Amino acid sequence: MPVIGTFTPEKDGYTGNITTLALNAKVSIRLNAGKQGRNAPDFLIMAGTIEVGAAWRRTSHGSTKEYLRVKLDDPLLPEPIWGALLGAGEDGVARLLWRRDWEDDGA
């Protein structure tokens, strides 16, 4: 899964950059202070004052490692991008990973 973003943890979220062939944006991932309901996102992803995505807390299967399940969306994208923001490593950087789901074509 390729890394499309790097983030620095902060008190109530993360700040960093997302870079792809079509996107290069400085974003913040902030706690969703208005969260209502169990399925509402835990975090909102903002590019300045514009909401460009959301994230939900998750725990890896068979582990206690936590990560954020991220959904990014923009009118320029043909469909939303799903990814995982992994906790900060030894270098203090959290990484946003992305993988396009595809059908197995047998190749």
Q: Which of 58, 46, 47, 55 is nearest to 81 (CA)?
A: 55
Domain boundaries, the chain: 3-98
The H or E element spanning position 9 is: strand 3-10
Predicted structure pTM score: 0.85
Pairing status of strand 43-47 against strand 66-72: unpaired
Q: For each of the chain's 107 residues, which pLDDT tens digit applies? A: 689 999 999 999 999 999 988 788 999 999 999 898 888 999 999 999 999 999 999 988 877 888 999 999 888 888 888 999 998 888 989 999 987 664 544 44
Q: How far apart (Å, rounded) are the C-alpha atoms in residues 77 and 4?
A: 15
- Position 106 scores a pLDDT of 47
- Position 101 scores a pLDDT of 63
- Position 62 scores a pLDDT of 79
- Position 104 scores a pLDDT of 47
DSSP annotation of 30 reads E
Q: What is the DSSP string of 44-81?
A: EEEETTEEEEEEEEEE-TTS--EEEEEEE--TTSSS-E
- Position 1 scores a pLDDT of 66
- Position 105 scores a pLDDT of 46
